[in-house]
Amino acid sequence: PGVDAIAFTGESRTGSTIMTAAAARLAPVSFELGGKNAGIVFADADLEQAVAGTLRSSFTHSGQVCLCTERVYVERPVFDAFAEALAAGARSLSGYGPMVSAAHRDKVLGYLDKAAADGDVLAGGGIPHFSDERDGGFWVEPTVLAGLPDDHPAVREEIFGPVVHLAPFDTEEEALARANAGPYGLAATVWTGDVSRAHRVAPALDVGIAWVNTWNLRDLRTPFGGVKASGIGREGGDHSLDFFSEPMNVCVKL
């Protein structure tokens, strides 16, 4: 009864459980939840920049970041070159960390087993071997997948590991439709050399934040949060104050 509001960052199903409990006493909630973040790479993008940015957005903290990119739609004329470069980059990564637990590693490997049976593994896909004390940890190789349908669990569900799936597209409309499909809507990246396209595509994405030719670049005063199953409300600067305070009207008759 002494809790006036609930702010939570975590998994979407946990947020739903909290929201159900809070509804009984009409407590307001602010949630930053899961994501299955998309990237869109157009043929006019700086390919080297797009590959480097996607390596960072997919594999930072071994993919254990709610903002990480887990699916990338690449315009068909540059798909093969992008896929080859991203796979080579993933294989060359070093200094990455383990999964947070053995249970989480098993979850990630379960997705990889399904993906390997139904699609193509362009890089990674297993457990790295270091021949030192790290072999006692919960590691997963940086993994690049391709060839899976959009409704495959590895493409639709949040893995929260060092895994990204690549798929080609032919039109801008197709890329937007596929990027917006699914229950989540936290973040997205757009890689293009066309400023008009950037201003057209980025706001058409069903997400709380869309980056153009970069990733995870934030001014902490700007609104941050997700849509759909990725969250409720916004935080950052004055937007945080909006949730953690209540406007009050005091009217005095003189």
Give the neighbor-by-neighbor strand order of the sheet with 143-146: 120-123, 143-146, 163-169, 69-75, 37-41, 187-191, 209-212
CA nearest neighbour of 226 among 37, 19, 17, 18: 37
CA nearest neighbour of 148 among 119, 125, 122: 119
**Count of CB atoms situated within 10 Å of the CB of 49:** 13
Active site (annotated) includes residue 133: no
Compute the 3-state secondary structure of the chain and give helix, strand, coil in percent, each to the nearest 5. 40, 20, 40
Among 11, 32, 84, 141, the active-site one is 32
Query: Left, alpha or beta for 235 (phi > 0: left; psi -120 to 50: alpha)?
Result: beta
Active site (annotated) includes residue 66: yes
List residues bridging with 209 in a β-sheet. 187
Which amino acid belongs to residue 180? N
Among 11, 66, 75, 246, the active-site one is 66
Burial of residue 65 (number of CB atoms within 10 Å: 0-12, 13-18, 19+): middle
* 149 neighbors 8 (Cβ within 8 angstroms): no
Residues noted as catalytic? 32, 66
